[in-house]
């Protein structure tokens, strides 16, 4: 077995970042992705300075900051349009040592795939872990329709419904429904501009943020039982739920194309795994610690995982796997478990649905924001200011 062969199961953000980081450390990496293509549709991705610093480690931070919209002015509103809190991107950048940015997921995916050898990614290839191997002995084995592959390292980046997680930790209860569903869509640049905002109603949230190219990313959530589908289509459902909210919400809904509205129920792993590794396999991203999107950290944490994993395993080689993967788990498990808990707490604020509860919440936010934007940004302290191990970096040094 070639000790330096790494197989990544799953070509999402986490798997691709791990592939680039391992490739740069000298691993011979193959990414196996079951979908026919890597092109993600219809969604934006907020990247905080923590993930940007991880991307700096693999040389992609500046490209991301160049292609992304820097989140500046904007804030939190009520459905009637009142501002509950104003955001100043410069304050956030000072606090966390770099800007909060937004880009299309496809932009990050193409930056990552461009940083890999052309043959490294195999789409349309579902993979199954058939043997996790032993840390410093037997290789791991991954099976695809084409046959078996041995590997010195397997990265399980197969997402929320990770079959690999189930194989490695069969007693773990898996993700549980967080109580709400989400929609995401992208619409063309609107004729009349508007300030970016997130708006909190009673058990409902709407957010509208521009990309750098002028198109607009919109997302929404509502509390509802799992597995629902709108009887008259998701656009009609958005109109029913948000059609009387402040400008620009109704015109964004009007501009949305029905077949480009993504709807996903939200699940989280509120019971942490006992470890993020077993044998020669490392779990990362949603497979390891799916979280609620309230802090926009799921992908950010997957990116951190990938870079920390590559830091621990280094260039691989005999006798290193056990200590390296134990070090990876020890670094990542406590941090990501804390972020999962904080994301759940942040969601509870947005999910308040009684009129009295929402009124109290809104008054508290408005009062807190009078003491400065720092009070609201405090929710990201210890998360957005994270620094990757073992190197210096240059996050947020240049504005586009
Ligand atoms: C509404 C919403 C908004 C969000 N906004 C943000 C945000 O702004 N910022 C942020 O950081 N995060 C955000 N997230 C979270 C983020 O989307 C996820 O945390 C992130 O995509 C996880 O990446 P991943 O690579 O771990 O998993 P995924 O992106 O799910 O990738 C897993 C991949 O594995 C593949 N796969 C699965 N099984 C197999 C198999 N057997 N063989 C081969 N391939 C397989 C799948 O096809 C998939 O491509 C949001 C989530 C939601 C729901």
- 264-299 pLDDT, tens digit per residue, is 999 999 999 999 999 999 999 999 999 999 999 999
Pairwise CA distance, residues 67 & 65, whole Å: 6
Read off the pLDDT of each residue in 71-89 and give the average, rounded to a whole number. Answer: 89
The answer to whether 140 touches 279, Cβ cutoff 8 Å, is yes
**What DSSP letter does each residue of 25-88 carry, written as one string?**
TT-EEEEE--SS-----S-EEEE-HHHHHHHHHTT-HHHHHHHSEE--SEEEE-TTS-EEEEE-
- CB distance 157 to ligand 1 below 6 Å: yes
**Ligand 1 centroid distance, CA of 299 (Å):** 7
Mean pLDDT in residue range 362-389: 84
Q: Please tell us whether the domain made up of 5-72+101-175+270-350 is placed in CATH 3.30.70.20.
A: no
Contact at 8 Å (CB) between 297 and 343? yes
What are the helix and strand counts (H, E) for the chain? 13, 19
pLDDT at residue 396 tops 70: no
Q: Is the CB of 266 under 6 A from ligand 1?
A: yes
Cβ of 207 below 6 Å from ligand 1: no
Domain ranges of the chain: 5-72+101-175+270-350
- What pLDDT digit, counting tens, does each position of 47-64 carry? 999 999 999 999 999 999
Residue 64 and residue 45: Cα distance in Å, rounded?
Answer: 11
- Which one-letter DSSP state was computed for residue 188? P
Is any ligand 1 atom within 6 A of the Cβ of residue 127?
yes
The finding on whether 155 has its CB within 6 A of some atom of ligand 1 is no
Helices 89-96 and 49-57 sit at what angle, rounded to 10 degrees? 50
pLDDT exceeds cutoff 60 at 162: yes
121 C-beta closer than 6 A to ligand 1 = no
pLDDT grade for 72, boundaries at 50, 70 and 90: confident
pLDDT band at 315 (very low <50, low <70, confident <90, very high): confident
Sheet holding 69-70, edge to edge: 44-47, 101-104, 69-70
Identify the band that residue 398 occupies on the pLDDT scale cut at 50, 70 and 90. Answer: very low
pLDDT score at 349: 87
Token pair for residue 270?
């509120």
Q: Is the pLDDT of residue 400 over 60?
A: no
Per-residue pLDDT band at 322 (split at 50, 70, 90): confident
For the CA of 290, the closest atom of ligand 1 is: 19
- Ligand 1 centroid distance, CA of 159 (Å): 5
> How would you classify the pairing of strands 5-9 and 153-156?
parallel
Instruction: Tell me how far CA of residue 73 lies from CA of 150, 175, 294, in angstroms.
Output: 51, 35, 19
């Amino acid at each position: 077995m070639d000790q330096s062969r790494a197989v990544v199961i799953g070509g999402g953000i986490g798997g691709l970042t791990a592939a680039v980081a391992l490739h740069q450390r000298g691993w011979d990496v193959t990414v196996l992705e079951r979908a026919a293509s890597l092109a993600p549709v219809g969604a934006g991705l907020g990247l905080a300075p923590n993930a940007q610093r991880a991307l700096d480690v693999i040389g992609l931070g500046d490209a991301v900051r160049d292609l992304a919209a820097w989140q500046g002015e904007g804030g939190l509103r009520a459905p009637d349009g009142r501002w509950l809190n104003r955001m100043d991107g410069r304050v956030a950048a000072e606090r966390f040592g770099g800007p909060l940015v937004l880009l299309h997921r496809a932009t990050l995916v193409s930056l990552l795939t461009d940083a890999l050898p052309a043959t490294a990614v195999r789409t349309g290839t579902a993979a199954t872990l058939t043997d996790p191997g032993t840390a410093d002995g037997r290789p791991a084995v991954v099976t695809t329709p084409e046959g078996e592959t041995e590997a010195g390292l397997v990265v399980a980046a197969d997402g929320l419904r990770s079959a690999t997680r189930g194989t490695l930790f069969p007693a773990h209860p898996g993700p549980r429904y967080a109580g709400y569903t989400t929609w995401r869509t992208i619409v063309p640049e609107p004729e009349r501009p508007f300030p970016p905002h997130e708006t909190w109603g009673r058990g409902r949230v709407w957010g509208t943020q521009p990309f750098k190219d002028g198109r607009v990313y919109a997302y929404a959530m509502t509390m509802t039982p799992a597995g629902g589908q709108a009887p008259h289509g998701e656009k009609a459902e958005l109109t029913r739920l948000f059609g009387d909210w402040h400008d620009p919400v109704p015109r964004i809904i009007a501009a949305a194309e029905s077949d480009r509205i993504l709807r996903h129920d939200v699940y989280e792993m509120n019971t942490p795994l006992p470890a993020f590794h077993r044998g020669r396999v490392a779990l990362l991203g949603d497979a390891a610690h799916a979280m609620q999107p309230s802090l926009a950290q799921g992908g950010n944490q997957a990116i951190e995982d990938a870079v920390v994993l590559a830091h621990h395993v280094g260039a691989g080689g005999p006798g290193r796997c056990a200590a390296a993967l134990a070090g990876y788990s020890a670094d990542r498990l406590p941090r990501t478990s804390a972020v999962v808990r904080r994301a759940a707490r942040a969601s509870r604020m947005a999910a308040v649905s009684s009129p009295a509860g929402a009124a109290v919440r809104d008054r508290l936010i408005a009062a807190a924001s009078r003491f400065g934007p720092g009070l609201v940004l405090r929710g990201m302290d210890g998360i957005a200011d994270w620094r990757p191990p073992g190197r210096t970096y240059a996050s947020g040094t240049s504005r586009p």
